[in-house]
Structure 1
Amino acid sequence: MSSSSPAKPVSLTEIQTISTDAKHDGREMVILDVRRPNEFDAGHVPNAVNLQVDELENALKLPKDEFKKTYNFELPSQDSDTQGVVVYCGGGGRAARAAGYLSDAKYQDNLYIYSPGWREFSTTIKK
């Protein structure tokens, strides 16, 4: 795994905007929650998809059609100018690992990370 990731940080305001209009930096975004499924089911950023970090490295090696059949969403192309991926977890650790796997899989300019994660985002939800 790479020691440093090219993932660009996004703020709370940016992730809130991405979660409602699915765009950032002119790109269609996939919001990837890399926590465990039970954590995701308990609450997540709106419009996020779930793929836990422990499966991500191997999932990235799957053919696109098998990936979609297994995980029910498509990851954008690694070099896409029109699509991107933003990763998050509970508080940054697993998201950093996921960003490393994505970087190793050649995601570069279209890779973003929301490090404060669900811990911060969940405080903004009206109860």
Structure 2
Amino acid sequence: MKSAHDLVTEAKTHITEIDLDTAEAAIREADVVLDVREADEFHAGHIPGAVNVPRGLLEFKLSNTPELSARDLKIVLYCKTSGRAALAACSLHDMGYLQVQSIEGGFDAWSAADKAVVTPSLPTFE
């Protein structure tokens, strides 16, 4: 039986994973940057311009959002450390998306390298 680690390792052999320096240029050229982490992770901080579509909803959201249906969209994906993004990139490839890239090391690597991060401020209701 395969573990989650096995699935991620296998997925990474089938996807395009980009380093942080390449990621900055790819993000500028992307049609969409997808953060596949959970909503609470996204709201704690994310890459500027990213759209949050949690991994568990990804295929459904893309299938039901006309703006994301074009298979030639330039898509950059990331998650916390790159595992969920690798699995997501495989799924998008299986769905026919042609230009999908995943950020190596994910958001943790991005923020550790002092790259730009958006941290939304939410109102207090006290």
- TM-score w.r.t. length of structure 1: 0.72
Give the SS at the match of 2:32. strand
Per the TM alignment, residue 32 of structure 1 is displaced from its structure 2 partner at its CA by 0.6
1:7 maps to which of 9, 12, 15: 15
How many positions carry a matched residue from both structures?
107
In the alignment, the residues of structure 2 paired with residue 13 and residue 101 of structure 1 have an alpha-carbon distance, to the nearest angstrom, of 25
Query: For the pair shown, which has the larger CA radius of gyration, 1 or 2?
Result: 2
In the alignment, the residues of structure 2 paired with residue 96 and residue 33 of structure 1 have an alpha-carbon distance, to the nearest angstrom, of 12
Per the TM alignment, residue 29 of structure 1 is displaced from its structure 2 partner at its CA by 3.0
In the alignment, the residues of structure 1 paired with residue 45 and residue 69 of structure 2 have an alpha-carbon distance, to the nearest angstrom, of 24
2:36 maps to which of 34, 37, 61: 34
In the alignment, the residues of structure 2 paired with residue 75 and residue 124 of structure 1 have an alpha-carbon distance, to the nearest angstrom, of 30
Give the SS at the match of 1:60. helix
In the alignment, the residues of structure 1 paired with residue 86 and residue 55 of structure 2 have an alpha-carbon distance, to the nearest angstrom, of 10
1:93 maps to which of 67, 83, 97: 83
Per the TM alignment, residue 16 of structure 1 is displaced from its structure 2 partner at its CA by 2.4
Per the TM alignment, residue 111 of structure 1 is displaced from its structure 2 partner at its CA by 1.1
In the alignment, the residues of structure 2 paired with residue 105 and residue 92 of structure 1 have an alpha-carbon distance, to the nearest angstrom, of 20
Whether the aligned pair in 2 keeps the contact of 1:76 and 1:84 (CA below 8 Å) is: no
Q: 1:124 maps to what in 2?
A: 113
Give the SS at the match of 2:68. coil
In the alignment, the residues of structure 2 paired with residue 8 and residue 63 of structure 1 have an alpha-carbon distance, to the nearest angstrom, of 24
Per the TM alignment, residue 4 of structure 1 is displaced from its structure 2 partner at its CA by 4.4
| Aligned residues with identical type, % of pairs | 33
Give the SS at the match of 2:75. strand
Q: 1:106 maps to what in 2?
A: 96
Runs of at least 5 residues in structure 1 that lack an aligned partner in the other structure: 65-73
Whether the aligned pair in 1 keeps the contact of 2:36 and 2:53 (CA below 8 Å) is: yes
Partner amino acid, structure 2, of 1:75: L
Structure 2 vs 1, CA of residues 4 and 119 (structure 1 numbering), >3 Å: closer, same or farther? Answer: closer
Per the TM alignment, residue 12 of structure 1 is displaced from its structure 2 partner at its CA by 0.4
> Comparing both structures, which one devotes a greater share of its residues to helix?
2
